[in-house]
Amino acid sequence: DFDSAEVRRSAEAVRQLLQDEGLQNVQLLELEGAHPAVFGEIPAPPGAPTIMLYAHHDVQPPGPDELWESAPFEPVERNGRLYGRGTSDDKAGIAAHLGAIRAHGGTPPVGVKLFIEGEEEVGSAHLGDFLDEYRELLTADAIVIADSVNWKVGEPALTVSLRGLVDCVVEVRTL
């Protein structure tokens, strides 16, 4: 169980990051009964495509405190790596997208739309509803998802098939 106010607080923090980075039309996308998503964009130069960059701001609950070497929501650097709940899944995806925008001086050669979901860790139950409700806003020519890992530190990776969730009920009968 978790406090949904913390998921909203996460969305607000991401909204502020996008605003600070200079994205336009930055807003929380809201649906009744859903955790907020965050949107921001950089319009495409004339004739250029628009790329949707997807990530999520929600994280798995931390579990028992005694299983952590440090407070789960307080980032700690150890041996040159950052540890904390959600630092890689998927706050790193948000940082990677913003880093790509910065690498282009805030004016990439394509249009960019960021869609930062708030329900990925619970199965994206409202993703279809967000796509329906915000269809025009979220329309893009391609989607890039930053929600995967590198095989090892210092070796970049490109995952080409990722999204999905399997849910099933297994019934076992014995004698």
Which 8-state DSSP code applies to residue 152? B
Helices 91-103/4-20 angle, 10° precision? 10
Q: Does 58 qualify as catalytic in the annotation?
A: yes
- The alpha carbon of residue 39 and the mean position of all alpha carbons in its chain are separated, in whole angstroms, by 11
Catalytic one of 41, 117, 119, 120: 120
Q: Are 30 and 92 a contacting pair, CB within 8 Å?
A: no
- Distance of alpha carbon 135 from alpha carbon 139, whole angstroms: 6
Among candidate residues 52, 77, 57, the one with its CA nearest the CA of residue 145? 52
Q: Does 3 qualify as catalytic in the annotation?
A: no
Catalytic one of 41, 58, 89, 121: 58
Active site residues per annotation: 58, 120
